[in-house]
Amino acid sequence: MQPELFKRYGVIEQTASENDVEYACESIRHLGYAVIDGGYEPGRLNAMSEAFERAQQRHTSEHGGREALKAIDEHNTIRLPLVYERLFLELAANNKILEICRRLIPGYVVLNQQNGVINPPHAERYNQGAWHRDLPYQHFVSSRPLAINALFCLDPFTNENGATKVLPASHRQEAFPSDHFIEAAATTIAAPAGSFIVLDCMMYHSGGVNTTDRPRRAVNHVYSIPLLRQQIDLPSMLGDQFVTDDALRKLLGYNVRTPRSVAEYFASRAEKS
Ligand X SMILES: O=C(O)CCC(=O)C(=O)O
Residues that bind ligand X (CB under 6 A): 115, 117, 119, 128, 134, 151, 164, 205, 207, 218, 220
Q: Least CB distance from residue 161 to ligand X, whole Å?
A: 10
Q: Which lies closer to ligand X via its Cβ, residue 110 or residue 197?
A: 197
CA dist 14 and 242 (Å) reads 45
Q: Which lies closer to ligand X via its Cβ, residue 96 or residue 205?
A: 205
CA dist 57 and 83 (Å) reads 13
Q: How many CB atoms lie within 10 A of CB 11?
A: 9
Q: Left if phi > 0, otherwise alpha if psi is -120 to 50, otherwise beta: which for 158?
A: beta
Q: Least CB distance from residue 180 to ligand X, whole Å?
A: 23
Q: Which lies closer to ligand X via its Cβ, residue 29 or residue 132?
A: 132
Q: Which lies closer to ligand X via its Cβ, residue 194 or residue 243?
A: 194
Q: Give me the residue whose beta carbon is nearest to ligand X.
A: 207
Q: Least CB distance from residue 265 to ligand X, whole Å?
A: 34
* 119 backbone dihedrals φ, ψ, rounded to 5°: -90, 110
Alpha-carbon distances, residue 200 vs 37, 133, 238 (angstroms): 17, 9, 27
Amino acid letter for position 16: A
Q: Least CB distance from residue 89 to ligand X, whole Å?
A: 18
- The beta strand positions in the chain, using DSSP E, are 33-37, 77-79, 110-119, 147-153, 165-166, 187-188, 195-200, 205-206, 216-224
Q: Least CB distance from residue 163 to ligand X, whole Å?
A: 7
**H or E element, residue 87:** helix 86-92
Q: Which lies closer to ligand X via its Cβ, residue 116 or residue 253?
A: 116
